[in-house]
Amino acid sequence: MAAFLAFQEPARRTRAFVFPGQGAQSVGMGKDLYDAFPSARELYDRADEILGFKLSTLCFEGPEADLQQTRNAQPAIAVTSLALLKVATEITPGLLERPAFVAGHSLGEYSALVASGALSFDNAIRLLRARGELMQAAGEKNPGTMAAVLGLDLADCDDVCREAGAEICNVNAPGQIVIGGRREAVVRALDYAKARGAAKVIPLSVSGAFHSSLMKPAAEGMVHHVGVATMSDADVPVVLNCTATPSRDELAFRNELVDQVASPVQWAKTVEYLGEQGIETFIEFGPGRVLTAIIKRMLRKAACVNVNDASTVNVPL
């Protein structure tokens, strides 16, 4: 399997690449790349061919309601993230000095696996379409919702969820936790969180309680898709969502891609780990700036570079 990138030595031991997850999508993303860079155009056209419909048009023109659908948003964000990575490495060859780690938030883990050399672009797009469809179906079978809880520590948030019958879904940063579950449980949890002193609670507009036990049917469905996909050991360690530990191992990746669908995303621990390993520069490839904002907040001395459109692909190194 040909690697998406041809990394070179010497390795850049203080650099990490990160990739965003669902929620980063917006109509118009990637259009400037598609118009200006043949390599980006090739990726969008290839994704259209794999999926059998014009994902590129959905990214560039919408409608927004269709782009927001989980089954569409997941491959759309990955294509855009990987197009940004591909173009940036052409414009700034220094990026091909092997990073110390790659990591991605939720579906961003697929982009990280492509960047690491463990998963091909084609297989990532196929898997994400299946993942999105399975998660959307699980949300219809087991209706649920999610909400962000700000200003409450993890222990208190865990207590709140246990009392309300909700679950922790994403630990994004200290004091920034996303919970999920059945709607009535999440509503109770938000009331309890406010009573415990949460600074703010924000209901999220989502089609299901992602990364919770309500997604178990989707995780079970991913077993087949992940099992038949071609994968390999990685050239660059990938810090995994479920454990916030690094791996290059193909079997670990297969298990991770099943487990992470119905398990919490440990992003705060991932950032902490990368900081402990001496990472000084984080480069986020993808629409939006969500991960950059979290990393800046958690690691104030770290340099953060956000590559999210054609105007930012010339990366300062």
Active site residues: 106, 211
What is the per-residue burial (b if ≥16 Cβ within 10 Å, else e) of 8-22? eeeebeebbbbbbbb
232's CB contacts (< 8 A; 6+ apart) are 1, 117, 118, 250
Task: Please give the backbone phi and psi of residue 16, each rounded to the nearest 5 degrees, phi first.
Answer: -135, 145
β pairing state of 176-181 and 281-285: unpaired
User: What SS3 class is residue 93?
Assistant: helix
**Residue 223's closest CA among 317, 130, 112?**
130
Q: Contact, 165 vs 241, CB < 8 A?
A: no
Q: For the sheet containing 167-173, what is the strand order?
A: 167-173, 176-181, 145-150, 200-204
* C-alpha Rg value of the chain to the nearest Å: 19
Containing 279, the helix (H) or strand (E) segment is: none
For the chain, how many helices (H) and strands (E)?
Answer: 13, 10
